[in-house]
Amino acid sequence: MEIETQTGQTGTTPAQLPQTMPHGTRNPGMDLDMDWVMRARVNRSAVERRASSLPGRRSVKKSHQAAWLARAISCIDLTTLAGDDTPGRVRRLCAKARHPVRTDLLEALGLQGLTTGAVCVYHDMIETAVAALDGSGIPVAAVSTGFPAGLSPMYLRVQEIEESVKAGAAEIDIVISRRKVLMGDWHGLYDEMRAFRAACGDAHVKAILATGELGTLTNVARASLVCMMAGADFIKTSTGKESVNATLPVSLVMIRAIRDYEDRTGIRVGYKPAGGISKAKDALTYLALIKEELGDPWLRPELFRFGASSLLGDIERQLEHHVTGAYSASWRHAMS
């Protein structure tokens, strides 16, 4: 596979990584390095060949599969982003985040204490979610900056972040201005991301690239680098509202950019595929990709999340089958 790194060499194997900052430390960012950004180029055919081989590369069975699926649950941002969200729906979602799998199944698997990675909501449901999750240690994430299009005036996008942090959001999922990427305005994208990062204060910031609208994989690679240079703690594929959301080729490009960034700066940035991941087998493929490309440190909610609303139900069905040998009806695991 040929994804050019900042040193001009092709990233064919995982690099030897330097000592990194302590786990959980924010990404302080760095000055915009346009030489590095413009050297990033992606060989689409090589990426697609590598991605197409992933689903068949790993076969995880029985107790090993149960452990991997439990890890996937711990990395889910349990999400509701609907126009008809109500406080009751959000409280039910938070209860599910606290107890994502039936107690008897967790006891049989020896997985007591399992929770999801976060709960993600719109701004007006932050206080409800914070109250419902009190004492659980589960953070509330809020989508912001004119989500999903990101076309509101800049001062309103910054103010929205500040209001969400004030309301109790520990994580802010921002959307970038796609037109800046399509026009090659990398300085503009960097300045925008720096402003969003500053508005987040102590809250972690996830930069949503909306990769399905960026045109090329090279644009995805460059946007990933610019957002990390500007201080993004996570880079995220999609809002979930685009016609094309998380894909394996896009994920591979973004993950390689994360690896380059750590190799260059010593800072670990997280990754969040979002949209279209609804099956347990897909979650296993993404976890295998992360393990192969970035290594075990990224197999934790501090550095990896799934943006999903329906994935948990299918994982719970698979865990029930592992314990009982039978599947229950899928509607039993649906959340409303």
The β-bridge partners of 307 are: 77, 274
The closest of 7, 86, 71 to 40, measured between CA atoms, is 7
CB 274 within 8 A of CB 240: yes
Q: How far apart are CA 36 and CA 28, in angstroms?
A: 18
**Catalytic pick from 206, 233, 236, 282?**
236
Residues in contact with 187: Cβ distance below 8 Å, sequence separation at least 6, in sequence order: 32, 34
- Among residues 206, 260, 272, 314, which one is catalytic? 272
121 token code pair: 């909501």
The catalytically annotated residue of 77, 96, 173, 260 is 173
Strand, helix or coil for residue 24: coil
Q: SS3 helix, strand, coil % of the chain, rounded to 5?
A: 50, 10, 40
CA atoms within 13 A on the CB side of 61: 1
Nearby residues of 316 by Cβ (< 8 Å), 6 or more positions away: 100, 101, 102, 105, 333
User: What is the distance between the terminal CA atoms of the chain, rounded to a whole angstrom?
Assistant: 42
Residue 266, token pair as written in the block: 């010593």
Which run of H or E residues covers position 235? strand 234-236
Query: Is 236 annotated as catalytic?
Result: yes
Residue 77 annotated among the catalytic residues of the structure: no
Q: What is the dihedral of CA 125, 128, 130, 132, to 10 degrees?
A: -140
Question: Which residues belong to the active site?
Answer: 173, 236, 272
